Each structure stands twice: as structure tokens, then as C-alpha cells.
Structure 1
Amino acid sequence: MSVNKENVRVYIANILGGLGDTDRKIASYILQQPAQVVQLPVKKLAQETGVSEATIVRFSKKIGYSGLLNLKADLKRELLAESDLSLPSSPDIFLDDSRNEVANKIALTIDTTVKETVGLLDMKIVKPVMERFLTARRVMFVGFGASGLAAMEARDKMNRLGIDSDAFTDRFTMTLKLANLKADDLVVAFSHSGETPEVVNAFRLAQKKGAYKLAITHSPHSPLNELADTFLLTSGSAGPMQGDSIATRISQLFIIEFLCTEITRHTLRDSASTGLSIKELLIKERIKRETAG
């Protein structure tokens, strides 16, 4: 399993909620003062954050870097490539906002979420993940609440691509169906927190049967990912007033759309001209099937 840390601040912002108090303090300082962090030696950074030098080094390694120097190098490279050094964030909506302001803030949230999700994608694992979908005997999507809606959307889109899929959004049906898993099945779990008990249990059942497990989650450090064979990270956060936010769902839907598009491109690549768009190729395939029929 791997995580795309190319966009350092987006990555740190997404794992913030899963960190302990001390690590969260360091992470928050990096997000708030990125330009200052790249200039500070470890001793000064420890003083600024109120922790020990060893804690700074452990934090760097805990979140996937070889050390503080590696983290600072990636952060500096990111800052030099940007003119705007502020971390993208979803704008707050206030009671006295106009309707136009509310609409534009929601639109900006969606745009930011999609860009952050792209930034979190590790493109090196997309091909092997796609191949799992194509070779699996059956794909079973699981999710509860808002993530259950993503599971059903994924099922419908994959079935339209000819990939035998099902979705389970309640504990009883999920437990019943996953008891009959085979080793060549694929189980895909949607969970923003990575801690939903029913979804984590689905991976435990899949593990017993030897089925491959793909997690689509916001948190790289969670009980779900400890059981996963690989994972794809989503962006977005749950709003304190709104529960599961639109950003969370948009990020999950984006991952589904991206995987389906990659599967379609792979399926059509060997049988068609690369100069045609996917839409044109699908129309040609449909005409070919209707003519043959």
C-alpha cells in the first residue's frame, strides 16, 4: 500500500483527524506556517511547536517520510511551484450570506475537493487496482449511510461495464453474502472514517476467505486500512452542522468515475483508434452490436 504525498499539505490536512494531540499540533503548525517550516532547523521547529526534537522526527516518519529533511524538501518543492502558499480549504457558510454567496461557496467546495482528491491519488496503484476489477469473479461493494450510496452507485456503474457487481448496505445481508466469498472475489469498502464497525467486519470476513480487499477512505491510518490489501484516499470532511458533507460524497463519486473510466479505456484500447474519444468509441461499439444482432 502507498499514499501519494506529492501534495504535502493536502495529504497532511487529510490525515489530521486521525492523529494524536501532539502529532496534530505539529501537523497544524505545518499547515499554518508552511513557508516558515521549510526554513527552520529541527531544534527551532521543536521550540515553536512546544514538543521535543525526537517527537518531530518521529512524526515525520509516522506520516510516511524518511525524516524531517525529506518532509521539508517535498514541502519546499511544493511551495516553490505555487504562487499561492495558503492551504486550499472549504469556505464556511454564514447565516447572513446571500443565496448567491452560498451557491458559489458550495461550488468552490466541490471544485477544491475534486482537486484535492486528484492530489491524493497514487497513480502507480491505479493499474493493478483496475486489473483486480477486470479479473475478479465478482465485485462486492460495502458501505453504510452516505457511503452506502457510493457503494450502490459503484455497483450500478460497474455492472454497466460488464463487471458482475453487488452492493451491501445493511449488516444482515452483508454478513450473509460475504460468508460465501471466494478467493477470486474483490471486496471494495467505502468508509470516510475507516472505522465503521460493519465495514471493518466485512474486511475481516473477506480476509478469512482470501478475497482481495480495496478500501476507499479518507483516513490512511484506520482499522479498515490495517485490513486492506490496498487503498485509495478520498478528500472532504464531514461538516459539524450538516453531518456527511457533499465534499465527502463528491470525492467518493469521483474515485468511482475515475476507476470506471480507466477500465473503459483499458477495454477499448486494443480494439480501436487512440485518436477517438471514449464517447465515440462507445457509440461505435453499440452500432457494431446492433448490426450484429
Structure 2
Amino acid sequence: MRNFLERIQGRLGELNRAERKVAEVILQDPQQVMGLSIAALAQAAGVSEPTVNRFCRSLETSGYPALKIQLAQSLASGAAYVSQAVAASDGPATYTRKIFGSTIAALDNTCQGLDPQSVDRAVDLLIQARQIHFFGLGASASVALDAQYKFFRFNLAVAAQSDVLMQRMLASVAHTGDLFVIISYTGRTRELVEVAYLARENGASVLGLTAAGSPLARACSHNLDVPPQENTDIYMPMTSRIIQLTVLDVLAAGVTLRRGTDLQPHLRKIKESLAQTRYPTDDEVTEE
């Protein structure tokens, strides 16, 4: 069962605007909320008391007292720090600490939620693929490009695309043996969902790195569930890219271990090809 604070964090994208304000006040300082009355919490969030009650019911609690009990249990269990919103009054030391703390907590939550069998199945698809396409849009586009750099080293035919039209064209001429890895934090981007269905219609496999139960997850052959940790509909994406990159590192490690020592000469050749592009280290200069 997920920690209560994590449940609140995971529901941010489903709440209406007023209820989300209540959630953000709780996540910002859950310890302080424990001492607030329902009227005080409503005032802190800038909403009405009925809104607080609706928020409580949306989390399947009977009311505000029951919510505070669950909140107390989360705090008593030593729950990891979940989230703290950056405030306008925060100085460099404070917002630096908040952003690093939020990212660390988000990575830990994602790690706990990843199913090892699902990871193993994703590695199977990558190993068996004749050709791999990494697709992403917006903030996920740079993640797809990073995946191309990673998986090229494994002597696989890989490419990354962030252009919607090119994505559709590639999906339309897909074949059995092709694998499309589609990266999306929300899983609600229409273009990517359509591309996933198009690729599968043409015989390709589609691996999603996205939120469980999302439209994209349902469109994929297999989905590696990456639970959303922030509401990117409102806030600038921060932790999402770090989470996606780390999940791809996990998959890259899985492929490396599966391929074994046979892959080492290929990796060494790539590494040696880059040696002349870098200045030597101080130790290397000293040795000369």
C-alpha cells in the first residue's frame, strides 16, 4: 500500500483546481497541517471548508479528522519527504534544497514502484528488436535523444525522433521486429497515442515509458509504469526528465548484462574512437 503522502502526490493531476490547492498545502508542510483545524487549512489554501471535505472524500477518507489520522500515520512511519513547493520568498539555499529533495524522493518512489518482471520484459523487447525507435515530445524529446546515444553503444540499430510527422511516417512503414519506445510523462499526448496504435497495426512492438492506465499505456504492447510525481499541466517539468533518464539507465544496464562479455570489444572500440576528441587529464600529461 502506498504511503498516504505519496497517494496525495500521485493524485495531483486528477484533482480540480481548488482541491489541488489543498493538496499542495498539505504536501508543502504536512507536519504543520497536523495542527490546523479544517477552517485554518481552508484559509491557508484559499478555499472553502466544503472544498476541504470534498478533497478528503476524493482520497477515500470519511472526512478531515480521518485524513489527519492517515497523515499522522504517514509521518510516524518515517515516510520519505515527498514534495515541497518552491515559494516566492525562498532564497537560493531553500529552493536548492527543495528541488534536490523533491527529485531524490521522486526517484525513490519510482524505484519502489517499478516491477522487476516488467523491467525484465522490457529488456526482452529491446534485446529481440531488429530496429529500435525512441520517440518523445516536449521535455521527453531530449530523453529520447539520450536513449539513442545509450543504446547505440550496444550494437543495435537505433534512432530517436521528436518530430510528429516523422514519427507518424516511421510508424506507418513499421514491420514485425521493429520496436518503438515511446516516452511520455503523462501518457496523454494524442499524437504519441496515435503513433503507438499505428505502429502496432503494422506489426511492430511498442514499449511505453509512461503513467500506468494512461491512454498511451493502453496503446502499447507493454508499458513500464512510471508514476507521475509532479503536475506538468501547471508546473515546469523538473523531476520527470530525471526519472525517465534513470529508468532508461536501468534498461541499458539490463541489456548490457544480458549481452555479456561478447559486447565488450564493441564498447571498447567506441570508447577508443573518442580518445582523440578529448584533452588529456593532468595525470596523463604528467606521465608523458
Letter aligned with residue 240 of structure 2: T
Deviation at 1:136, TM superposition (A): 0.3
Q: Which has the larger radius of gyration?
A: 2
Structure 2 unmatched ranges of 5 or more: 31-54, 61-69, 273-288
User: Within 5 A, what are the aligned runs for 1:116-127?
Assistant: 116-127=109-120
Q: What is the SS of the residue equivalent to 1:192?
A: coil
Deviation at 1:151, TM superposition (A): 1.0
Aligned CA-pair RMSD: 3.9
Greater mean alpha carbon deviation, residues 91-100 or residues 141-150: 91-100
Which residue pairs with 2:37 in the alignment? none
Deviation at 1:205, TM superposition (A): 0.9
Q: Please give the per-residue CA displacement for 1:74-107, whole angstroms capped at 9, x wherever unaligned.
A: x9xxx79x7314x632222122222122222221
Letter aligned with residue 115 of structure 1: D
Aligned partners of 1:228 and 1:247: how far apart in 2?
Answer: 24
Aligned partners of 2:155 and 2:84: how far apart in 1?
Answer: 40
Residue of 206, 212, 222 corresponding to 1:230: 222
Which residue pairs with 1:137 in the alignment? 130
Aligned partners of 2:184 and 2:267: how far apart in 1?
Answer: 35
Aligned partners of 2:5 and 2:213: how far apart in 1?
Answer: 15
CA contact (8 A) 2:81 2:101 kept: no
Which residue pairs with 2:165 in the alignment? 172
Q: Please give the per-residue CA displacement for 1:216-259, whole angstroms capped at 9, x wherever unaligned.
A: 11x31221111112212224314676422x20111111111111
Residue 286 of structure 1 pairs with residue 280 of structure 2: no
Cα–Cα, structure 1 residues 197 and 102, in superposed 2: closer, same or farther, change >3 Å?
same
Which residue pairs with 2:11 in the alignment? 16
Deviation at 1:153, TM superposition (A): 0.9
CA contact (8 A) 2:143 2:245 kept: yes
Letter aligned with residue 172 of structure 2: A
Aligned partners of 2:215 and 2:233: how far apart in 1?
Answer: 23
Residue 249 of structure 1 pairs with residue 241 of structure 2: yes
| TM-score, normalised via structure 2 length | 0.67
User: Within 5 A, what are the aligned runs for 1:154-193?
Assistant: 154-193=147-186
Deviation at 1:186, TM superposition (A): 0.8
Q: Tell me the number of residue pairs that the alignment of Structure 1 and Structure 2 aligns.
A: 232
Residue 108 of structure 1 pairs with residue 101 of structure 2: yes
Residue of 190, 209, 215 corresponding to 2:208: 215
Letter aligned with residue 136 of structure 1: A
Aligned partners of 1:148 and 1:213: how far apart in 2?
Answer: 17
Which residue pairs with 1:84 in the alignment? 78
What is the percent sequence identity of the aligned residues? 23
Letter aligned with residue 11 of structure 2: L
Q: What is the SS of the residue equivalent to 2:155?
A: coil
> Which 4+ residue blocks in structure 1 deviate beyond 6 angstroms?
none
CA contact (8 A) 1:142 1:168 kept: yes
